Amino acid sequence: MTNLSPSALLVGVVLLLVQLLAALPWLAVAFWTRKDWETLRSRHGRHGTLFSSTVLSRAAIGLAVLLVAPAVFGMLVQSREALEVSGQVYGALLQMQLIADGFVLAFAVLLLAWPKGGAVALASFREGVRQPMFWLLTGLAFGAMTISPLVPYFTFGEDYLMVKELGYDTIMLAAVLFGALAASLFVSEEIEGRTAITLMSKPVSRRQFLLAKFAGILLAALLMFGLLGSYFEGVQLFKHWFDKLDPVPPPVWVTRAVDTWAPRGGSDLLRGLGLWTSLTLETLPGLILSFCRVMVLVAIAVALATRVPMVVNLTAVLVVYFVAHLSPVLVAIGNNARARDPGSAVSQLLAFVAQVFDTLLPDLNSFRLDPALLGDTSVATWPFLAYVGSVALYGVLYTVLVLLFGLILFEDRDLA
C-alpha cells in the first residue's frame, strides 16, 4: 500500500489537467455551433461570452474537479497493481482524445488549404460516420476481437501471437468492407442519381470531386482504425492476463523515465501510462501497414465506382484482394510448370498470366508483419522503421496511380 503524498497529488492534478486540455478541441467542435463561433469572434463575444458568469462558474467547477479528483482517487486506489492498471486506462483515454484532436486538426488544415475539396471531404466523412454500416462493421470487429482471446487455438504456446495477427486482419477487413461500400454509395450512386451534377455546378471540378470523396472515405476508415486499434491494445493486455503469462516487463526507456522524473508516490501510475504508451508504439507499425493496404483497396473501389455499380465494385475489390495475395503462389506454380515442361503452351500461358497478375496487382503481402515481428523477437529499430516507411511509400505511390486511372475513367463519364 502507498500513502497519499503531496507529490502523488501533484501527479494526479497534472495528469487530469492534461486530459482536460486534450478534451478542449474535440469538445469545442462537438458542442459549439457555428453561431457560437461567430459570436466568439465578434466584439460582444470577446467581452461578454468568454467572461460571463456561466463561463466563470464552469471554470470554477473544472478547477475544483482538478483539485478534488486526484485526492479522491488516491484514497480509493492505493495498491501498486491497481495504480498501474489505472495508468493504462488513463493512457487509453488520452489516446482516444488525441485521435479526436487529430481529426479536428486534419480537417481544419484541409479546409484551409483546399476549401472546396475539403468541404466535400468533410461532408463525405460525416456521411460515412453516420451510416449504420460504419457502426455495424465496427461493432462486429469489436465483437470478434473480444471473443478472440477466449478461443483456444492449440498453437503450443503461440495463442497470443494468433490473437495479434487476427486483430490486425479483423481491423483491416472491417475498414476495407466499409471503404468499398462507401465508395459505391458516395460515388457511384451520386453519379447515377445525378447528384454529382448539382455538386459540380458549385463549381467543383471532377478532379476535386473524386479526390475529395476518396479523402473523406479514407478518413472515415482511419477513424474506424483509431477506435478498433485502441481497443485492440486492450485486447492484447487482456490476453496476456487471461493466459496467466509472465507480467509484461516495462521497456528500458519507461523504467529510466519513471526513475528519473517521477516523484515519489506517483511512479506506479506513470509506469502504467508508460506501459500503455510502449504498447501503442509496438502496435502502431502493424496498424500503419494494415491501413496502407486499406488505402490501396479503397482507391481501387473509388476508381471503379466511377464506372460500375455497387455489386460489380464489391466483387472486383474482393477478387483483387484474394488474387493479389495469391499472386506470389501463382508465379511460383507457373515458373515450376515452365521449368518442368518448357515447350508446353499451357505452362507458358500459366506463367505469363501469373506474371501479369503479379505486375499489375498490388503486393498486398508486403503490408503484413512477419510472424517473428508479431512476437517478442527483438529487431533493430531503424531498419524496421525503414522497412515500414518503404512499404508505406509503395502504398502511397500505388494509390496515386490508381486514382489517376480513376480520374481518366471519370473524365469521359457522361453525367447528364
What HEC string does the chain produce? CCCCCHHHHHHHHHHHHHHHHHHHHHHHHHHCCHHHHHHHHCHHHHHHHCCCHHHHHHHHHHHHHHHHHHHHHHHHCCCHHHHHHHHHHHHHHHHHHHHHHHHHHHHHHHHHHCHHHHHHHHHHHHHHHHCHHHHHHHHHHHHHHHHHHHCCCCCCCCHHHHHHHHHHHHHHHHHHHHHHHHHHHHHHHHHHCCHHHHHHCCCCCHHHHHHHHHHHHHHHHHHHHHHHHHHHHHHHHHHHHHCCCCCCCCCHHHHHHHHHHCCCCCHHHHHHHHHHHHHHHHHHHHHHHHHHHHHHHHHHHHHHHCCCCHHHHHHHHHHHHHHHHHHHHHHHHHHHHHHHCCCCHHHHHHHHHHHHHHHHCCCHHHHCCCHHHHCCCCCCHHHHHHHHHHHHHHHHHHHHHHHHHHHHHHHCCCCC
Task: Flag whether 227 is in a domain.
Answer: yes
For 61, the grid coordinates are 467547477
Task: Flag whether 65 is in a domain.
Answer: no
Q: Which domain holds residue 310?
A: 79-411
Task: Flag whether 332 is in a domain.
Answer: yes
Cell 455551433 appears where?
A: 33
Q: Are 161 and 191 in contact (CB under 8 A)?
A: no
Q: How far apart are CA 280 and CA 282, in angstroms?
A: 5
pLDDT given at position 71? 56
Task: Flag whether 232 is in a domain.
Answer: yes
Task: Flag whether 72 is in a domain.
Answer: no
| CB neighbour list of residue 133: distance below 8 Å, 6 or more residues apart | 178, 181, 182
**Phi–psi pair at 412, nearest 5 degrees:** -95, 5
pLDDT given at position 54? 58
Task: Flag whether 61 is in a domain.
Answer: no
pLDDT given at position 35? 67
Handedness of CA 403, 409, 412, 416 (dihedral sign): negative
CB-neighbour burial class of residue 370 (10 A; exposed 0-12, middle 13-18, buried 19+): exposed
Q: How far apart are CA 185 and CA 174, in angstroms?
A: 16
pLDDT given at position 17? 84
Task: Flag whether 389 is in a domain.
Answer: yes
Q: How far apart are CA 61 and CA 63, in angstroms?
A: 5
CA atoms within 13 A on the CB side of 11: 23
Tell me if the pTM is above 0.95: no
Cell 485521435 appears where?
A: 99
Amino acid at residue number 32: W
CA atoms within 13 A on the CB side of 301: 31
Task: Flag whether 27 is in a domain.
Answer: no
**Phi–psi pair at 397, nearest 5 degrees:** -65, -40
Per-residue pLDDT of the chain (416 residues; tens, 9 = 90+): 445 566 666 777 788 888 888 888 887 787 766 666 666 556 454 444 555 565 556 656 666 665 566 556 655 666 777 778 888 888 998 999 999 999 999 999 999 999 989 999 999 999 999 999 999 999 999 999 999 999 888 777 788 888 999 999 999 999 999 999 999 888 887 777 666 666 666 678 889 989 999 999 999 999 999 999 999 999 998 988 887 666 666 677 777 777 676 666 567 788 888 889 999 999 999 999 999 999 999 999 999 999 988 889 999 999 999 999 999 898 899 889 888 888 788 888 888 888 999 999 999 999 987 755 565 566 778 888 899 999 999 999 999 999 999 999 988 777 65
CB-neighbour burial class of residue 21 (10 A; exposed 0-12, middle 13-18, buried 19+): exposed
Domain count, the chain: 1
pLDDT given at position 45? 47
